[in-house]
């Protein structure tokens, strides 16, 4: 699968000084957390229901932001893509790809609330 976007969490002055990595693939989002004890969260894009961009004053100064997502995934119903560069561009890309995946799989958000 192609990696469409990749970044690291940038918690200090917008620098990638973290052991959290985000990868947006064609059908899923991978969140790798940790150095010694690693954990990987995987969310299928068609299961994402809501995407919100959050940016405080310090994040705006350093050009980073946090994207909050709500999903129909039982193991990861809510998650954040924290302190990433170009958050507006990433949010738009994620929204577009989520919609494309839903259309491909013929899924609407109402099906998650059945």
pLDDT in tens, 35-63: 999 999 999 999 999 999 999 999 999 99
Residue 24: strand pairing partners = 5, 29
Q: Is the pLDDT of residue 98 over 90?
A: yes
**What is residue 45's predicted lDDT score, i.e. its pLDDT?**
97
CA 72, 69, 97: angle at the middle one, nearest 5?
A: 85
What are the CA-CA distances from residue 101 to residues 41, 48, 59, 94 (Å)?
19, 10, 30, 10
pLDDT in tens, 56-89: 999 999 999 999 999 998 888 999 999 999 999 9
Tokens of 9: 């969490």
Q: What is the pTM of this model?
A: 0.90
Residue percentage of the chain with pLDDT more than 70: 95
**Domain range list for the chain:** 3-106
Tokens of 76: 């990861």
CA proximity to 66, closest of 45, 50, 87, 40: 87
Q: What is the mean pLDDT of the chain?
A: 94
Please give the CATH number for the structural domain made up of 3-106: 2.30.29.30
Q: Is the pLDDT of residue 104 over 60?
A: yes
CA proximity to 58, closest of 6, 15, 5: 15
**What is residue 112's predicted lDDT score, i.e. its pLDDT?**
56
Q: Is the pLDDT of residue 114 over 60?
A: no
Residue 3: strand pairing partners = 25
């Amino acid at each position: 699968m192609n990696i469409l976007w990749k970044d690291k969490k940038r918690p200090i002055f917008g620098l990638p000084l973290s052991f959290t990595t985000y990868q947006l693939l064609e059908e899923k989002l991978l969140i790798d957390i940790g150095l010694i004890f690693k954990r990987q969260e995987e969310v299928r894009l068609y299961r994402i229901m809501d995407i919100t961009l959050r940016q405080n004053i310090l994040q705006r100064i350093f050009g980073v932001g946090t994207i909050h997502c709500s999903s129909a995934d039982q193991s990861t119903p809510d998650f954040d893509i924290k302190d990433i560069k170009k958050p507006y561009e990433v949010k738009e890309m994620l929204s577009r790809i989520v919609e494309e995946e839903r259309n491909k799989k013929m899924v609407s958000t109402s099906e998650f609330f059945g």
